[in-house]
Structure 1
Amino acid sequence: MEHMFESKRVIIGPEGFKKVIDISIPKRVNLPTGYIETEKIAHIPPGGSFFANDVEYFVFPCDTFDYVMHFLKRHTQIVYPKDGAYILMKLDIHPGKRVGEAGTGSGAFTLYLSMAVGPEGRVYTYEQREEFYKKAEKNIKNFSKFDNVVMHNKSVVEGIEEKDLDAFFLDIREPEEAIPAVREALKPAGHLGILVPTTNQVSETLIALQNHRFYVSEVVEIMMRQYKPVAERLRPDDRMIGHTAYMIFARKIL
C-alpha cells in the first residue's frame, strides 16, 4: 500500500526555484521557463532531471523539510525547522517515546514528532479550534509515515487524557494556564518544552513553572544565517531568518 507521502516530489530549478507537487494528481506544473505534466515527473528517477526550454530542473523525493516549508497548508505560524530540531533534542525525543503536544496548529511540528517517535511511539496532540484541527488532520494524513498520532479537538487547559508521558510541547497563546494540566500528564522528571513569541510571555511562563514545581533548564532563541552556495563568490544571503520564537525548557520535579 502506497503512503500519501510517497507521491510527493520536489522540483528544484535555477535561482532558488523550488516547488513541491503531488504526482498522483494529473496537472500541468508551471515553471519559470515553461511547464511539465505530473505524469512525466512520475517517470523521472530520484535525483534525475529534465529540461524546460534548455533549463535543467532536478527531481527529488519530497522530505519532511520541503513538505512543511513548501507544501503544507497553514493558517497559523509553524515551528521552524531551526527550532524544531533543537526542541526534539532538548525533549529527548526518540523512537518509542510517548509525547504530548498543544496546540496542533497546522500540524507541522506534529509531523516532526511523529517521525521522531516512530511506529512504536505515540504523539497525543490537542487543538481547541475546530477549523485548525481539521486542517492539521489533513496535513498530517498527507505526509505521515506512521499511524502514531492521536488527535484531540479540545483545549489542553481542560485536562489531558493521557498520563505518564515522557515529554510535552506547548505552543499556545497562554502556556502558563496549561502548566497544571501538563504537570499531571508528565511522568516524574518528564521533559517540557514551551514556545512563545514575546519576552513578556517568557516571564509569565517562568513564574508559572516555578509555582508548579518545574526545574527550568534553559531559555533560548536560535538565529540562522544561510549562505549562497556559489564557490566563486561565497557570501551570506541578503535576508536571514532572525527571531521566530523564544523556547523554554523544563523538567518536572517532585
Structure 2
Amino acid sequence: MAVVKETDTVILYDPEKGKKYFLNLSLAKGKFNTDRGELELSELVGKRYGEFVETHKGFRYVILPCTLYDFIMYKLNRLTQIIYPKDSAYIALRLNVKPGDTVVECGIGSGAMTAVFAHIVGDTGKVISYEKREEFIKNALSNLRKLNLENRVIVKHKDIAEGFDEKDADAVFLDVREPWLYIEHAYRALKTGNMLGVLVPTVNQVIEVLKKLEEMPFMDVEVCEILLRKYKLVPERFRPEDRMPAHTAYLIFARKLPEGMKE
C-alpha cells in the first residue's frame, strides 16, 4: 500500500461528520487544528493511506490520497474558468494522449487541463503550454507543484500569433478565445495523422473553427458537448438530482492529413 510522502496532497477524513480536509504537506507545516484537536502534520509522512491518525484529544481521522479529480474540483486555485473532468477525460481520450507523448496546449488557464495531460504523459512525456498572461502562469505552476506534476510541464510565456516552436507534437489542444486564428499554426506543430482538439464556449466560435478546418487538410472532424447527470443517493427515492451540470463547452476534434490533401 502507498505511503504518504512529504510532498503529497492528502485528505484527512472525519468519519463522524463526513467532512474532508485537504492538506498539501509541502506547504502546510506545523500543526493541523480543528475542534477535534490538533495533530503534527509531520506525523503523517510515512504512514500508509487508509490508516488512522489521532489528535491530542484522541479523535481519529482517516488518511486518504487526494485524487486528481478531488484536487481539480475542490482544491485548485482558480483565476480562470477551468475545464471540468467531464470534458477533460474525453479530450485526453480523443487526442489519444499516452505515456511518453509530447502535448502542446494553449493556454494554460488555471492548469486543470494541463494537470490531466501531465498526469497521463508520465515522467517520459512533456506538456508544452503556451500562455501570454504571467499571472496565469504563476498560478497554474503553483497548482501543478502541489500535484508533483510541475517537472512534466514546460511553460512558454509567449503569444502564439507567430506560431508554435514544436513541429512533431503527438497532440495539440487550443483553449483560446479565437482558435481559428491559430489552426494553421497548430497544423504545422502536429504530427500527420494525429489529433487536434479545440474547446470553445459558444456556437459562433464553433462555426468559425469549422470554416477554418474546411479550408485545411483535416479529416474526422467532430463537434460535441458532454452532459453529466448525477443521482440522489437515497435507495428508497432513487432519482436524478434537481440540478444538472449541463453545458460547459463545445469540443471540436480533427485529424491532420498530409499537406496538400483534403478529405
> TM-score if structure 1 supplies the norm length?
0.86
Picking from 44, 65, 79, the partner of 1:42 is 44
C-alpha distance in structure 2 between counterparts of 1:126 and 1:4, whole Å: 31
Q: 1:241 to 1:50 in 2, by over 3 A?
A: farther
On the 8 A contact 1:49/1:57 being kept in 2, the answer is yes
Which residue in the other structure is 1:250 paired with? Answer: 254
Q: 1:174 aligns with which of 174, 178, 201?
A: 178
Say if 2:241 is the partner of 1:237.
Answer: yes
- Alignment root-mean-square deviation, CA: 2.8
Separation in 2, partners of 1:116, 1:28: 32
What SS class does the counterpart of residue 99 from structure 1 fall into?
strand
Q: Is the 8 A contact 2:8 2:147 kept in 1?
A: no
Q: Computing the radius of gyration over CA atoms, which structure comes out larger, 1 or 2?
A: 2
Q: Is the 8 A contact 1:115 1:146 kept in 2?
A: no
Larger mean CA deviation between 52-61 and 3-12 belongs to: 52-61
Give the length in aligned residue pairs.
251
More displaced 10-residue stretch of structure 1: 244-253 or 49-58: 49-58
Q: TM-score, normalised by structure 2?
A: 0.84
Are 1:10 and 2:14 an aligned pair? no
Q: Assess, with a 3 A threshold, how the Cα gap between structure 1 residues 29 and 198 changes in structure 2: closer, same or farther.
A: farther
Counterpart contact for 1:29–1:35, Cα < 8 Å: yes
1:105 matched to 2:109: yes
Question: CA 1:4–1:171 in structure 2 vs 1: closer, same or farther (change >3 Å)?
Answer: farther
Q: How far 1:58 moved relative to its partner? A: 3.7
1:45 to partner: Cα distance:
4.0
1:224·1:242 contact (CA, 8 Å) conserved in 2? yes
Between 136-145 and 73-82, report the one with greater CA deviation: 136-145
The whole-number CA distance in structure 2 between the counterparts of 1:99 and 1:109 is 11
Residue 216 (structure 1) shift: 4.5
Q: Does 1:22 align with 2:28?
A: no
| Mapped contact 1:218–1:248 kept (Cα < 8 A) | yes
Deviations 1:181-236 (A, max 9, x none): 11111111221011111111111111111123222421010111122334444333
CA separation of 1:236 and 1:110: change in aligned 2, threshold 3 A: same
Distance 1:211 1:5 in 2: 52
| Aligned AA (1:46) | Y
Are 1:121 and 2:131 counterparts? Answer: no
In structure 2, the gaps of 5 or more residues are 259-263
Tell me the amino acid that sits aligned with residue 7 of structure 1.
Answer: D
> Could you say what secondary structure the match of 2:50 adopts?
coil
**Unaligned stretches of 5+ in structure 1?**
none
State the partner residue of 2:261: none
Cα separation, 1, equivalents of 2:24 and 2:197 = 34
Cα drift, residue 4 of structure 1? 7.8
Identical-residue share of aligned pairs (%): 41
